[in-house]
Amino acid sequence: MSKKLLAVIAIIASVSALTLGAQENTGNSSEVLRKKGDQSITILAGGFIPLFVLDSTGALISPSNMYPGASFDVQYRYMLGNHIGVGGSISGSFVTTIGGGTLFFAPIGATAAWIGGGDPLEYEFSTELGMNIMRLYGNGLIEPYAKLGAGLSRYVTSTWGIGAKVSWCFFPEFHFGTYSSLNSYANFLEFSIGASYHF
């Protein structure tokens, strides 16, 4: 419980720091720096917290038998207009298990986002869909996944920005035939801070 509380405090501190930094910026807060054709590359690192896991019947598996881990993301975005961006993401994350193992995730997906705000503060709501490579104790699976996220970032210069992002991550595990009872649906909270380069 204390680890989850620490994660929430870290998220609040990150957002507060961005907001205070933005208040010190003397630029025009209504200026929108984005336009069609703009691109960006973002690198994020942070924590990865197990929320809950459902079994094949939709019942809660309690406890989840997983402990908090870490995540790393590299994201590319292309702006279709002032507010809509699409792109891709390559990520890596892990959690530890009650048995001492390490569960790895390596999602690769397509992203779409709505971005608002301007100089200096930008905010976004994003979605991500793709395929995820999971590995535990030497055994691997390739499964679909989905993410929903929200973020806040601040321009430091016209090309560089720093920010924080929180995402809900859905990682299903499908089995077929006589093993279909092993289906499960894991849910995680990903929170991260990072930097973006705009070009």
DSSP string for residues in 48-78: EEEEEEE-TTS-EESS--EEEEEEEEEEEEE
Q: How far is it, in rounded angstroms, from Cα 160 to Cα 40?
A: 9
pLDDT at 118: 81
Average per-residue pLDDT for the chain: 86
**For residues 149 and 129, is the Cβ–Cβ distance under 8 A?**
no
**Residue 22: pLDDT over 80:** no
121, two tokens: 């503060």
pLDDT at 27: 46
Share of the chain above pLDDT 90, in %: 65
pLDDT at 23: 43
**What average pLDDT does this structure show over 166-187?**
91
**What average pLDDT does this structure show over 56-73?**
91
Question: What's the pLDDT tens digit per position in 95-133?
Answer: 999 888 999 999 999 999 999 988 789 999 999 999 999
**Residue 136: pLDDT over 70:** yes
pLDDT at 31: 59
pLDDT at 32: 65
**What average pLDDT does this structure show over 173-192?**
90
Taking the model in full, what pTM does it have? Answer: 0.78
Q: How far is it, in rounded angstroms, from Cα 115 to Cα 196?
A: 14
**Residue 15: pLDDT over 80:** no
Q: How far is it, in rounded angstroms, from Cα 55 to Cα 187?
A: 12
Share of the chain above pLDDT 70, in %: 83
**Residue 14: pLDDT over 60:** no
Q: What angle do CA 114, 17, 24 make, to 5 degrees?
A: 90
Q: What 3-state class would DSSP assign to 148?
A: strand
CATH architecture for residues 2-198: Beta Barrel (2.40)
49, two tokens: 């917290």
